[in-house]
Chain A
Amino acid sequence: GENVEQHPSTLSVQEGDSAVIKCTYSDSASNYFPWYKQELGKRPQLIIDIRSNVGEKKDQRIAVTLNKTAKHFSLHITETQPEDSAVYFCAASRRTGTASKLTFGTGTRLQVTL
């Protein structure tokens, strides 16, 4: 089955700096890569996703890049703010008809300091 590795496990940055979280996946047939943000005590929520036919996607201060050859994808957050502090999870899945299941990485705890 799919295996997703995520690094680093913790990341501390100063407000205004950039943060990068990296993930690798094992199943070359995976074609959907979402990122979820989980604030303390809350449920995970999708912040951005990318499909295998695209190399990069941006949404305001966040961007995701995908390298299918190397089987890795990354989340980039620019101009970090205190409200970006949370745990971030990457995931991967491949679709078969209407079915797919997400395999998650182990998470990165991002702390944005003032």
Chain B
Amino acid sequence: DAEITQSPRHKITETGRQVTLACHQTWNHNNMFWYRQDLGHGLRLIHYSYGVQDTNKGEVSDGYSVSRSNTEDLPLTLESAASSQTSVYFCASSVTGNTEAFFGQGTRLTVV
């Protein structure tokens, strides 16, 4: 079955380290998104992509980067991890605009 998967599911890292979270979807969706979920803030958009080689900043993009070299993958990189980036990260994809977004299982990241 087509799906969207994230890895790792849990990660602990040290302040200042570079971290990459993986997101892979097999639906051939053009649109892919990264959100972070924090208590009291809901789901906030970090970066998004509407196709290969396309990337855009969301509302909380500082300290994060993404690249889209193929349709299936949108890895999220924390260039120098900070304690404020401790959060649950969700990747999502949708086939086109204003259609259902399918979420991955989430990655719980702890920065110590």
Contact = CB atoms under 8 A, between A and B. Distances in A.
Interface of A: 1, 6, 9, 31-32, 34, 43-46, 49, 51, 89, 93-107
Contacts of B100: 34, 46, 49
Given A1-B59, A43-B90, A43-B103, A99 B43 contact: no
A99 B50 contact: yes
- Interface core residue of B40, B96, B101 (most chain A CB under 10 Å): B101
B40 A103 contact: no
Given A6-B42, A89-B42, A96 B101 contact: no
B74 to A, nearest CB: 13
B59 to A, nearest CB: 7
Given A45-B103, A89-B42, A104-B44, 17 more contacts: A6-B42, A31-B98, A32-B98, A46-B100, A46-B101, A93-B97, A98-B30, A98-B97, A100-B97, A100-B98, A101-B45, A104-B42, A106-B40, A106-B41, A106-B42, A107-B42, A107-B43
A106 B44 CA distance: 9
A43 B104 contact: yes
Contacts of A100: 31, 94, 97-98
A60 B104 CA distance: 27
B90 to A, nearest CB: 7
Contacts of B58: 101
A49 B41 CA distance: 21
B96 A98 contact: yes
A45 B35 CA distance: 14
Interface in B78-108: 90, 94, 96-98, 100-101, 103-106
